[in-house]
């Protein structure tokens, strides 16, 4: 995925969007316009599932009764609540831009057809919201027309659909009712007991990555500012696995920096030396910023000489290369092709011909059809760059591939490497290097 992003390759399921000096809220508005044709209040409501009804004179209005079951069509995620790129600000700006008419109607003292605004964020009918605590609330069953207590979990996302003033009623509606896609057919009354600092209901067009855990959304729009130290490997993994259709990574800083955050050395878990079931194994590792930190060796893959890799099989290969080609290899060094795209070979091994390195790729999931298809695409890219399989290789390098189908065969891997490497170099010990920077 990171190779596609860094290479500027957009796909139907993945795209990167640089802020380009725009405020985060403007970046978000531009994406909603392009992806969901959001132009005004009505098209904004339609983007998360609202239908349309027409008044007697033909004026279109949003029909929110269809929104709950489609409200997870898209979701903005941010690492934090505060700051211009945080959920609080983004939700506020979306409400100011696209929900002003709905709020004005709810603030009317006379002829009001919807409940008064709820909570400090002035939540009204049509707003997308998240329940912020585990609680039992009063629920109206639309099929049986009965009321009962219903459990609502912290983090459930829904849409405010009522109450709506019925025909013939003189009194304005009093209760804010939400429908959640996880509980179809139930209109759940919000609890007004929350305080301004701890409301029971919040706006939810934008959620924190933490709050989104366990949920899935069609399209995820991920807002990532530059220089935020709290962006960890775990946070990126959580955010990028919430989507079912597409993820749009909106980045203020360089994508290369974010890729560094996806490395094992950016893992918060691995830095916690607090395992309750076994003693931690502290290992000093130099991270992408050049700082030496302690990691739990049980939770990341670290060679005996301090190189952090992504898998146990890569650890085996790294140790093999340390023994056979010390000072000649780097891990995940960027390789820029003639098409401007960048790839990250697992290992790059220099030979006596500087223009013809050995590029070693270990293929750990060839039994997976999607993985195999991506590898065939990458192999074709290598061929286009003049990098071909051994023993002869190509004008710009030799491609060495290994896999673990049938088990880990370290002896076979070593033999294949020696066949390519043994006659192409004179061993000159040197310093092992990590991934280079561009």
Cβ neighbours of residue 192 closer than 8 Å, sequence gap 6 or more: 118, 119, 176, 200
> Pseudo-torsion of CA 316, 317, 322, 327, nearest 10°?
-150
- pLDDT category, 428, cuts 50, 70, 90? very low
d(CA 435, CA 438): 10
Print the SS3 string covering 121-175.
CCECCCCEEEECCCEEEEEEECCCCEEEEEEECCCCEEEEEECCCCCCCCCCCCC
Query: Is the pLDDT reported for residue 92 higher than 80?
Result: yes
The predicted structure's pLDDT at residue 283 = 55
Report residue 99 as tokens: 């929900």
Report residue 251 as tokens: 């980045």
d(CA 49, CA 109): 29
d(CA 315, CA 24): 40
The predicted structure's pLDDT at residue 261 = 61
Query: Is the pLDDT reported for residue 166 higher than 70?
Result: yes
Nearest alpha-carbon partner for 259 in 339, 342, 336, 380:
342
The predicted structure's pLDDT at residue 437 = 39
Cβ neighbours of residue 72 closer than 8 Å, sequence gap 6 or more: 157, 181, 215, 216, 217, 218
- pLDDT category, 49, cuts 50, 70, 90? very high
- Which string of b and e fits 9-21 if b means at least 16 CB within 10 Å? eeeeebbbbebee
The predicted structure's pLDDT at residue 371 = 86
Contact between 437 and 330 under an 8 Å Cβ cutoff? The reply is no
- The predicted-structure confidence for 233-277, as pLDDT tens digits, reads as follows 788 888 888 999 999 999 998 877 777 666 655 555 444 444 444
CA distances in angstroms from 138 to 143, 203, 283, listed in the order given: 15, 20, 53
Structure-model confidence comparison of residues 291 and 111, the more confident one: 111
Beta bridge partners of 135: 152
d(CA 168, CA 164): 12
What average pLDDT score do residues 122-131 get? 95
d(CA 241, CA 220): 9
> For 88, what's the count of Cα atoms within 13 Å in the CB-facing half-sphere?
8
83: alpha, beta or left? (left if phi > 0; alpha if psi -120 to 50):
left
For the ranges 202-216, 304-318, 346-360, the lowest mean pLDDT is seen at 304-318
d(CA 38, CA 165): 28
Identify the helix (H) or strand (E) that includes residue 234: helix 233-240
Q: Report the alpha-carbon angle 310-311-316, nearest 5.
A: 115
d(CA 284, CA 308): 10
The predicted structure's pLDDT at residue 307 = 78
275: alpha, beta or left? (left if phi > 0; alpha if psi -120 to 50):
beta
Structure-model confidence comparison of residues 302 and 295, the more confident one: 302
d(CA 137, CA 124): 18
The predicted structure's pLDDT at residue 286 = 54
Query: Is the pLDDT reported for residue 184 higher than 80?
Result: yes
- pLDDT category, 280, cuts 50, 70, 90? low
- pLDDT category, 314, cuts 50, 70, 90? confident
Query: Is the pLDDT reported for residue 434 higher than 80?
Result: no
Phi, psi of 428 (to 5 degrees): -130, 100
> Could you give the 3-state DSSP secondary structure of residue 75?
strand
What average pLDDT score do residues 423-434 get? 42
Structure-model confidence comparison of residues 301 and 377, the more confident one: 377
Nearest alpha-carbon partner for 271 in 262, 258, 283:
283
> Could you give the 3-state DSSP secondary structure of residue 225?
coil
- The predicted-structure confidence for 72-82, as pLDDT tens digits, reads as follows 999 999 999 98
How much of the chain, in percent, has pLDDT values that exceed 90? Answer: 49
Contact between 233 and 204 under an 8 Å Cβ cutoff? The reply is no
Sign of CA dihedral 149, 154, 156, 157: positive
For the ranges 252-261, 288-297, 314-323, 337-346, the lowest mean pLDDT is seen at 288-297
Nearest alpha-carbon partner for 10 in 33, 32, 28, 35:
35
Identify the helix (H) or strand (E) that includes residue 275: none
- pLDDT category, 279, cuts 50, 70, 90? low
Query: Is the pLDDT reported for residue 303 higher than 60?
Result: yes
- pLDDT category, 332, cuts 50, 70, 90? confident
Q: Would you tell me how many other CB atoms lie within 10 Å of the CB of residue 351?
A: 20
Report residue 174 as tokens: 């009093």
Structure-model confidence comparison of residues 367 and 125, the more confident one: 125
Query: Is the pLDDT reported for residue 431 higher than 60?
Result: no
How much of the chain, in percent, has pLDDT values that exceed 70? Answer: 82
The predicted structure's pLDDT at residue 276 = 44
> Could you give the 3-state DSSP secondary structure of residue 95?
helix
The predicted structure's pLDDT at residue 292 = 55
Q: Is 193 exposed, middle or buried (0-12, 13-18, 19+ CB in 10 A)?
A: exposed
d(CA 102, CA 124): 7
Cβ neighbours of residue 184 closer than 8 Å, sequence gap 6 or more: 68, 69
- The predicted-structure confidence for 187-235, as pLDDT tens digits, reads as follows 999 987 665 667 889 999 999 999 998 889 999 999 999 876 667 778 8
- pLDDT category, 407, cuts 50, 70, 90? confident
pTM, two decimals, is 0.65
């Amino acid at each position: 995925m990171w190779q596609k992003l860094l290479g500027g390759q957009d796909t139907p399921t993945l795209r990167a969007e640089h802020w380009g000096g725009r405020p985060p809220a403007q970046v978000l508005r531009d994406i909603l316009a392009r992806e969901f044709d959001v132009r005004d209040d009505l098209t904004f409501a339609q983007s998360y599932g609202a239908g349309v009804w027409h008044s007697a004179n033909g004026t279109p209005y949003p029909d929110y009764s269809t929104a709950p079951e489609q409200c997870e069509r898209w979701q903005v995620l941010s690492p934090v609540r505060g700051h211009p790129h945080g959920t609080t600000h983004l939700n506020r700006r979306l409400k100011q831009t696209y929900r002003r008419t709905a709020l004005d109607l709810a603030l009317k003292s006379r002829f009001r057809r919807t409940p008064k605004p709820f909570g400090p964020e002035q939540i009204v009918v049509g707003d997308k919201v998240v329940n912020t605590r585990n609680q039992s609330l009063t629920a109206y069953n639309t099929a049986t027309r009965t009321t009962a207590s219903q459990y609502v979990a912290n983090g459930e996302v829904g849409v405010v659909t009522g109450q709506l003033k019925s025909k013939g009623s003189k009194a304005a509606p009093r209760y804010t009712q939400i429908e959640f896609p996880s509980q179809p057919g139930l209109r759940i009354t919000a609890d007004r007991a929350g305080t301004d600092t701890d409301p029971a209901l919040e706006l939810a067009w934008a959620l924190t990555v933490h709050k989104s855990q366990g949920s899935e959304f069609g399209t995820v729009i991920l807002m990532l500012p530059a220089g935020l130290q709290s962006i960890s490997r775990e946070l990126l993994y959580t955010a990028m696995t919430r989507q079912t259709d597409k993820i749009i990574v909106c980045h203020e800083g360089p994508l290369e920096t974010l890729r560094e955050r996806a490395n094992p050395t950016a893992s918060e878990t691995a830095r916690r030396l607090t395992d309750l079931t076994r003693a931690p194994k502290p290992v000093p590792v130099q991270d992408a910023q050049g700082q030496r930190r302690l990691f739990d060796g049980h939770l990341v893959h670290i060679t005996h000489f301090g190189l952090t890799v992504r898998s146990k099989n890569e650890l085996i290969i790294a140790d093999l290369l340390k023994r056979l080609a010390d000072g000649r290899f780097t891990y995940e060094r960027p390789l820029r092709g003639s098409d401007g795209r960048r790839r990250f070979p697992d290992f790059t091994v220099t030979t006596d011909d500087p223009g013809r390195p050995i590029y070693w790729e270990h293929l750990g999931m060839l039994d997976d059809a999607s993985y195999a298809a991506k590898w065939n695409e990458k192999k074709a890219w290598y061929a286009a760059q003049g990098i071909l399989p051994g023993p002869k290789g190509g004008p710009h390098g030799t491609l060495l591939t290994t896999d673990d189908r049938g088990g880990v065969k370290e002896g076979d891997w070593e033999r294949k490497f020696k066949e390519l490497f043994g006659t192409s170099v004179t061993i000159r010990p040197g310093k092992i290097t990590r991934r280079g920077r561009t």
